[in-house]
Homo-oligomer: A and B are copies of this chain.
């Protein structure tokens, strides 16, 4: 699972998590969404929101609460109670980029249109936003956010004027938008789940008593005591009503064209999640095993960089036979409001988040496993800390290939010149990290770690499943 305090400058960030529930019997879905969002918090820490409705109430009465910050900060017993007694609802967590970390962009997007209300929670990024937006503007549209979910909502609203049902309008909109999207949509009497035809982002279905749930990750189903039913298929629209689940697969592509984001397996998703039948934990252990096969090391100890490096480190240890151990103590009290040490303090050795267990590493040749390197600053610092604590050798193993290319589908990768791998070969990177050896996961291993499922590995390979957009549409499309 993602750790917040340590290495935030070093980690890539997921763009969102979505959650929805339709409880045919119950009337307090807001708490369930709250716990669901807590379990998806690693997918976005910028803002969060919950929208709730009561299918038995007046049509189109949606109560919403959104705010900047973590789920546990934004929601209180009071404002959760203020969401009232609804039996259908959606929730969202969003991650924080510098530019557009504004409340207006928090989701779910709740809106009024010809057929009443719609609430929409979106994970992913569209690639034809500029064209779509231009078209709408020429019809006199106004935009109150800078998220492409609003574009999606507009297209659904326009399609709805002439189509017979909300799900049909969604389908018409899907024909126009291109890119990555997993959506949970609440209309007055329906809960709709959608995954784009490439299946970039995960989405699955759960069941608890007489309620159906939709969630970005299966771990959130465990948390709320629901059982996993199945994944929404890439390209599928599922529509949950009192009559059960209706599925429309007419937009699905041939399986070989699917392109799941492999970084969900490597780092984004929680290890206790399964995506399209593959355990994230197992995928990480497998990556560690591949690393041990492809990049063996003579060493005395295998350690993971906490928390996300631990599973791969265990795989490495299992495959190599080198003992697995703990080398680091992380301070779990270093939260978001923590006052960062000044540059001067850092130079004089102040290091608040992580400490090395000297006793565990002194005199040893250490294999240090991490899930990825972005800028390299943190990795280099940790190598240095291990040596200062007495490690004789430090062998760095990374359970992902080097980052080299931008992502247009919802992952925030810094510009090329900030990537340590940009313009350097592995030996040069090793030198920059001051490691004794360095091994990356090989690109062919990516699909193998996902049990052979087709994955998108464009950020490593530069091979995009959809042509990258002409304009740079990453982040907010309105600069």
Q: Would B39 and A331 count as touching, CB distance under 8 A?
A: yes
Binding-face segment, A132-140, A174-182, A370-378, A390-398: A132-140
Chain B residues in 8 Å Cβ range of A334: 38, 72
Q: Which residue of B lies closest to A117 (CB)?
A: B478
Q: Which residue of B lies closest to A40 (CB)?
A: B333
Any chain B CB within 8 A of the CB of A467? no
Any chain B CB within 8 A of the CB of A165? no
Q: Would B139 and A113 count as touching, CB distance under 8 A?
A: no
Chain B residues in 8 Å Cβ range of A191: none
Count A-side interface residues using an 8 Å CB cutoff.
Answer: 99
Any chain B CB within 8 A of the CB of A299? no
Q: Would B352 and A39 count as touching, CB distance under 8 A?
A: yes
Any chain B CB within 8 A of the CB of A332? yes
Q: Would B282 and A359 count as touching, CB distance under 8 A?
A: yes
Binary contact track A138-157/B, C-beta < 8 Å → 1, others 0: 11111111100010011001
Q: Would A314 and B326 count as touching, CB distance under 8 A?
A: yes
Within 8 A of B (CB), among A334-381: 334-335, 337-339, 341-342, 345, 348-352, 355-360
Any chain B CB within 8 A of the CB of A323? yes
**A103 CB → nearest B CB, Å:** 8
**A168 CB → nearest B CB, Å:** 14
Q: Which residue of B lies closest to A342 (CB)?
A: B31
Q: Would A359 and B38 count as touching, CB distance under 8 A?
A: no
Q: Would A339 and B34 count as touching, CB distance under 8 A?
A: yes
**A169 CB → nearest B CB, Å:** 10
**A109 CB → nearest B CB, Å:** 7
**A106 CB → nearest B CB, Å:** 10
A140-B158, A357-B271 known; A38 and B352 CB under 8 Å? yes
5 nearest interchain CB pairs?
A225-B349, A140-B158, A112-B143, A114-B137, A41-B333
B-binding residues in A (CB < 8 A) = 1, 3-4, 31-32, 34-35, 38-39, 41-42, 58, 60, 64, 70-73, 75-77, 80, 102-104, 109-114, 118, 137-146, 150, 153-154, 157-161, 208-209, 219, 222-226, 270-272, 279, 281-282, 307, 310-311, 314, 318, 323-326, 329-335, 337-339, 341-342, 345, 348-352, 355-360, 478-479
